Amino acid sequence: MLEEGRPVLKRRKGADRRPSALALEQAIHQRLPERSLLDTLTRAAYLTSWHRHLGRASGSDPKIRGDALGRYVLTAYAYGANLGAAEVARHMRGQVSAHELYTAGNKHSTADKVHKCSADVINAFTGLDVAGVWGDGQIVAVDGSQVDTWENNLLAESHIRYGGYGGLAMRFVSDSYIALFSHFVPCGAWEAVNIIDGLLRNDSEVQPDTIHGDTQGQSLPVFGLAALLGFELLPRIRNWHDLNFYRPDAATRYQHIDSLFGDNTIDWQLIEKHWTDLLRTSISIREGRVSSVTLQRLGNHSHKNRLYRAFRELGRVIRTVTLLRFLSEPGLREQITAITNKAEAFHGYAEWLMIGGKLIGHNDPDHQERVVKFNELLANCAIYSTALDITDVANQLAAEGYPVARDDLATITPYIQRTIRRMGDLVLDLAPPDHTPTTRLDLEPRVLFAPRA
């Protein structure tokens, strides 16, 4: 649509949910069982054995009093809910001391170990049929959420965009609602340069190839790097009309969209000259020899750096194509909005599970990173447990003859809060699940009575 000779994108209204989907959601919510937050962690630990990654750095017997499963479940609860070891120990009535939880949290846990714990839950969640109904895992949204901290530490800073003082929890949320990776960075960090680094550090079996993010997720060098690494970077771009569209050469003209392009052209010789360097750098980043944040350092040190300029020039090519797709494909814009909304919803869900509040009361960056990753683990365990319950209830409804359509089931989010008890007495129940939950959906109506001959 044109206004005063300039193209304008009108906001599209999302499709309304079908009445059958709303009715199915209500029927499922009425039957979902209530579980305490500790029970969801314990249930996920029995089913996925996520706690096996925690322990001493030496790999020897942890030598902790009592059952290791119970100790690590309480540790994940204490740090993931941001309650702290002392507060959890107070409510356990002598079953565990604050020192024992501190030991499990500080000596048996690292950010990498907690990430591996979460990867086990992600892999188990991906094996559920209902996860495939929500998404195939090939699309991920990257978004940051501000987390308050004390002022006197290395990562904390104020930022006008977030309106607070602290750091940024960067989360990578799959189109199937599960979080694949979390990282704690300063608020002023450019999100684009952390996108690739986070995707390459994802240890789960879910390996997305399409990245959506907010407007801050775009950067010319990162567009080029993502293309070389095999990722498709498709951020939401609010200020697209202020960006340059680059012509392949000065002589190229277009019949209908020429007004979008200025006089800027691509320097193909620069890309060709440094093509080997671009590939070598991309391989080094993929193999973990160099961090993708290096591109930001190159840009900060000198925009005349030839490698930086080559990545930027390749990024101009990729971003121009991306901008044209963004303008011409309404379905792509709807997809970007839908998946970024899931990421924002995950932020709200994870923050809701932070019973102790959003303030991380510690100045150690390693501690702050562990809190963010434990919070991701806590949220993923709750999502996994809820998905299992949704599967059971959907199968029950179908067995009773209730019409359960996959398209309707796809609109039901696992970020359900009303079935999770966050408050009350802390009771650690280490009994195994009373039955092995099913991972498969059986939505075909069953014939309860055979017809008479």
DSSP label of 33: P
Contacts of residue 355, Cβ cutoff 8 Å, sequence gap at least 6: 81, 82, 83, 422, 423
Candidates 389, 432, 232, 420; CA nearest to 326 is: 232
Q: Do 220 and 246 form a contact (C-beta atoms < 8 A)?
A: no
How far apart CA 20 and CA 409 sit, in angstroms, is 10
Query: What pLDDT sits at residue 447?
Result: 41
SS3 403: coil
Query: What pLDDT sits at residue 128?
Result: 94
**Which residues does the chain have with pLDDT short of 50?**
300-301, 446-453
Query: What pLDDT sits at residue 185?
Result: 82
Most distant CA pair in the chain: distance in Å? 86
Rg (CA), the chain: 25
- The separation between the first and the last C-alpha atoms of the chain, rounded to the nearest angstrom, is 64
Query: What pLDDT sits at residue 156?
Result: 65
Query: What pLDDT sits at residue 202?
Result: 86
Element counts in the chain: helices (H) and strands (E):
16, 10
Q: Which tokens sit at 402? A: 């209730």
Q: Which tokens sit at 67? A: 């059952």
Please spell the DSSP secondary structure of 311-345, one letter per residue. Answer: HHHHHHHHHHHHHHHHHH-HHHHHHHHHHHHHHHH
How far apart CA 166 and CA 141 sit, in angstroms, is 22
Q: Do 263 and 250 form a contact (C-beta atoms < 8 A)?
A: yes
Query: What pLDDT sits at residue 354?
Result: 93
Query: What pLDDT sits at residue 188?
Result: 67
Contacts of residue 240, Cβ cutoff 8 Å, sequence gap at least 6: 9, 323, 326, 327
How far apart CA 129 and CA 229 sit, in angstroms, is 30
Tens digits of residue pLDDT in 45-93: 999 999 999 988 766 555 555 578 889 999 999 999 999 889 888 888 7
Cβ count near 23 (within 10 Å): 13
How far apart CA 129 and CA 442 sit, in angstroms, is 10
Tens digits of residue pLDDT in 360-371: 888 888 888 999
Q: How far is CA 212 from CA 17, 176, 218, 332, 337, in A?
A: 23, 14, 10, 10, 9
The pTM score is 0.89
Candidates 148, 116, 72, 50; CA nearest to 351 is: 148
How far apart CA 241 and CA 239 sit, in angstroms, is 6
